[in-house]
Amino acid sequence: MKHQHTAPSPTSASAASRPAAAGGPCSLLATRYSLLSLTALCLLTSVLISGGATPLPELPRVAPTNIRTYAWIWDGQAWRELPNNAARILDCPSGQCGKQLTGTLTIDGYGAVPSAPGQNVLLACRSSFNLKTYKGLPEGESAFEVTRLEVKPGPGKKQLIRTARLMRLGEAAATFGDKRELIAVQKSTNDSGIYHLIQVRTPLEPGRYALNLPDRAYEFEIAEPPPRLDNYLLRPAEADAQPEANNEQPPASDE
């Protein structure tokens, strides 16, 4: 799929419905991002004050001459490289010249997908250049998004088709809308390139997920959450906001 000191970013929460892709709802979605900025920042600040954060793992190293973009997931022991697995956007509406593509993110490759526990998921992305962003992305937001993929059998032997729908955000950006997960993003630069650390702020259920960039996507898998919790923290001053996650719990049984 072909799809600076900026503030880092929590990027959006899952919900039951998906907003329409027309101009009015897109404007409302962008406004919703801004209104919830303070909420996410207060959440990060309160956790920081409570202490007990686990030190962040050392970033993976890449040769400075390597121009390829890489992504990884921390499995609790080591960084595991994420595959692209032939990720691309299909069913694209017309008239998208100069805009981030919308349509159906489709992943159908057979590459091995690394897995990690669903608590405090930590991802990293390295590039040798600043990532492109598009008009419509709220100020202070990163362009990273994490979303759960719908999985169904494919035509090939043991093939799985993994999909998620991208809609228009503002003038030219794209988003998974309410299907995004709440994340915080922190940017750093060293002699290996430009790095972004992406922390998912809510527990993820087991399944396949995508880490989406404006021009490419990567795939990872979540296994059953472990009993222990690693409390990684990104600096709250560098965390921008997204809608809060739906943390409703099912009603208690009478049994």
pLDDT digit string, tens, across residues 182-211: 999 999 999 999 999 999 999 999 999 999
Beta-bridge partner residues of 25: none
Tens-place pLDDT, residues 160-185: 999 999 999 999 999 999 999 999 99
pLDDT band at 252 (very low <50, low <70, confident <90, very high): low
Mean pLDDT of 15-26: 44
For β-strands 207-213 and 216-222, DSSP reports them as antiparallel
Angle at 140 between CA 134 and CA 141, to 5 degrees: 60
Residue 15: inside a domain, yes or no? Answer: no
How wide is the angle at C-alpha 211 spanned by C-alphas 205 and 215, nearest 5°?
Answer: 155
Residue 2 has pLDDT above 50, yes or no: no
C-alpha distances in angstroms, 61 versus 73, 161, 215? 14, 32, 22
Looking at the predicted structure, is the pLDDT value of residue 99 above 70? yes
Give the residue, 43 or 149, on which the prediction is more confident: 149
pLDDT band at 141 (very low <50, low <70, confident <90, very high): confident
- In this structure, is residue 13 part of a structural domain? no
pLDDT (tens digit per residue) in 211-249:
999 999 999 999 876 555 555 666 544 444 455 445 455
Give the residue, 137 or 4, on which the prediction is more confident.
137
- Other beta carbons less than 10 A from residue 220's beta carbon: 24
In a domain, 247, yes or no: no
Number of domains in the chain: 1
Q: Is the pLDDT of residue 46 over 80?
A: no
Residue 195 falls within a domain, yes or no? yes
User: Do the domain assignments include residue 244?
Assistant: no
pLDDT at 38: 38
199 assigned to some structural domain: yes
**Domain assignment present for 17:** no
State the average pLDDT over residues 139-150: 94
Tell me whether residue 210 is in a domain.
yes
Range of the domain at 158: 23-238
